[in-house]
Structure 1
Amino acid sequence: MLIKSIAAGLAGTALIATVAFAQSPTATTDKAPTAAAATATTTTASGDWRASKMSGLKVYNEANENIGSVNDLLMDKSGNIKIAVIGVGGFLGMGEHLVAVPYEKLKFVNEAVAYTGAGTNPGAKPAASTTTGAATGTDKTATAAPSGSKWYPDHAVFNASKDELKNMPEFKYSE
């Protein structure tokens, strides 16, 4: 009796499987566009910077002294960046003092900072230029980005010393 049940189950399964294989797919006209059609139009953003790459960007003063790094960029509800949060001092994030500075007071430079040390560094290449001029924020791209741009500036310049930044009120994210 068990053998007859198993044989009937196998026969039924085979019959259902042949019916399923015999059906042909129907063509539908409301298909989603293929991947090739979806990528036919692309957007380019030549010369723009990626916000994700701005975090950690080194900040120098006009004397080419490293005074901190960009920790965060804060924007208003319309998407305009208003404040740069700069981390000053500390080591590996410990003891770091966060300060908020107006974004328009930062000057971004695409060229590397010139080495100004008194000693010699035989392995170092001379930098293309030095960071000079007031950080007025009116010129966000101090030099034209090369065609193979890395999507972020080399560094930012803020007209203050490290001690002046440390003496500014500490920035805290409100809950």
Structure 2
Amino acid sequence: MKKLVMASALAIAAATAAHAAKTMAPSESWTVTNYYTQAVYDPKESKIGDIDDVLIDKSGKITGLVLSVGGFLDAGEKRIIVPFSAVKTTKKNDKWWLTINETKDTLKNAPGFKYDRESTTWVPEKK
């Protein structure tokens, strides 16, 4: 009898967990691939840089984006962090564009960051 009660409890727990899982993606959700490694443009449609990383807080909310700006073919590039809310999506010719209301020069003057593998975080660059 004890085994039957235990088996029933496990079956109910498994069914509850399966029921809690979503059967569809939320209607207003996007995947991180819509941002990660994508180009970012200024309001005049000039390319500013690319998104190198997406920053997520412990609750799962996207808080910032790491942009690489300046340089050429990874040489002389600077990584900066901008708030997630600063990057907007725009649709043009059936293609999604990521835009920010800043210029490349303004962003090149922002504080730089480097990835620290030991702490697995982005830390300010030392000048």
Runs of 4+ in 1 over 3 A off after TM superposition: 44-47
Query: Contact 1:99–1:169 (CA<8 Å) still a contact in 2?
Result: yes
The Cα of 1:155 is off from its aligned counterpart by: 1.9
Counterpart check, 1:160 vs 2:79? no
1:83-162 aligned at under 5 Å gives the runs: 83-109=64-90, 111-112=91-92, 127=93, 154-162=96-104
Task: Tell me the distance in 1 between the aligned counterparts of 2:29 and 2:60.
Answer: 15
CA RMSD of aligned residues (A): 2.7
Which residue of 2 is the match for residue 55 of structure 1? 36
Find the structure with the greater CA-based Rg. 1
TM-score when scaled to structure 2?
Answer: 0.65
Which residue of 2 is the match for residue 171 of structure 1? 113
Task: Tell me the distance in 2 between the aligned counterparts of 1:50 and 1:57.
Answer: 12
Task: Tell me the distance in 2 between the aligned counterparts of 1:100 and 1:49.
Answer: 20
Name the SS for the 2:64 alignment partner: strand
Q: Which has the higher contact order (CA 8 A, sep 6+)?
A: 1
Task: Tell me the distance in 2 between the aligned counterparts of 1:93 and 1:168.
Answer: 18
Q: Which amino acid aligns with 2:64?
A: I
Task: Tell me the distance in 2 between the aligned counterparts of 1:101 and 1:43.
Answer: 31
Q: What is the count of residue pairs matched by the alignment?
A: 100
Overall identity of the aligned pairs, in %: 37
Task: Tell me the distance in 2 between the aligned counterparts of 1:63 and 1:166.
Answer: 17
The Cα of 1:83 is off from its aligned counterpart by: 0.9
Which residue of 1 is the match for residue 52 of structure 2? 71
Gaps of 5+ in 1: 1-37, 113-126, 129-152
